[in-house]
Copies of this chain bind each other. A is one copy, B any other.
Amino acid sequence: MTYCVGLLTRDGLVMLADTRTNAGIDHISCFRKLYAWEAPGERVIAAAAAGNLAITQAVINLVEEGIENPKTGDIETVHSVQSMFGAAQLFGRALRSVYDSDGKVMQSRDTEFSATFLLGGQVAGRNVRLFHIYSAGNFIEATPDTSFFQIGEHKYGKPILDRVFSFNTPLVESVKLALISMDSTLRSNLSVGMPCDLLVYRRDTMTIDTTHRIDESDPYFLGLRDSWSDALRAAYLAVPNPPWIGSHNPA
């Protein structure tokens, strides 16, 4: 399993991914699932991957090495696409290419063709964008109404984002929320595991602001975990008691 979250805000983009892969509960490995391509002043593109690792690694290889654009005949790479929409199309074509070569064999071995990506970034002169790319190669885009996407084990980490994250949340606060969302998931699903990779991009800077690998001994993350639990405890204690405690009206 996997947990990746991407937050699109007025100020930029936050992407966070765990690194655990597992083939059965006794076959656990660590692989980076967050990829970034940067040409300072020109483009920042980042992708987070969930699903079958053979598929997602093949897709990353293809978008780096290049795929022919069927309309123009040009070989396109993540370094050459002219827009984030073009990058999303490139990832979609890469997924379809892997499906064409491996999909049938995988299905014949009862292996699901499953791979999804979060793809975010900015190409100079264009807007910051965040896409959720499906296994079929089609995709949706985050908007101010729904400005975060999750892939993998998404449920445990969703309530905190639903309650307090919005497009207007400042970037550093968004980083904290992504980390809290990740911590909720780490606690509840053993197949999501540390270390985690973080990327922060500030709108219109055309250069990566932050990359950081957070491991189990990261003092900030350990402090956040404790202070968040303490804050929740204080918060629910501050909620008044229900007025109907002690009233029993048999149905």
Number of interface residues of A (CB under 8 A): 56
- Which of B156, B220, B232, B241 interacts with A156 by CB under 8 Å? B156
Contact across chains for B164 and A251 when beta carbons are under 8 A apart? no
Contact across chains for B176 and A162 when beta carbons are under 8 A apart? no
Q: Is A159 an interface residue (CB 8 A)?
A: yes
Q: Which residues of chain B have C-beta atoms less than 8 A from A239's C-beta?
A: 176, 180, 224, 227-228, 231
Closest to A177 in B: B236
- Which of B36, B164, B172, B249 interacts with A211 by CB under 8 Å? B249
Q: Is A235 an interface residue (CB 8 A)?
A: yes
Contact across chains for A246 and B210 when beta carbons are under 8 A apart? yes
Q: A155-B155, A156-B156, A173-B236 are in contact. Are A163 and B242 (CB under 8 A)?
A: no
Interface pairs (30), CB distance under 8 Å:
A156-B156, A156-B159, A159-B159, A160-B232, A160-B236, A162-B184, A162-B188, A163-B233, A164-B229, A164-B232, A164-B233, A164-B236, A172-B242, A173-B236, A173-B237, A176-B239, A176-B242, A200-B245, A207-B248, A208-B250, A209-B245, A210-B246, A211-B247, A212-B247, A220-B240, A224-B239, A227-B239, A228-B236, A231-B231, A231-B236
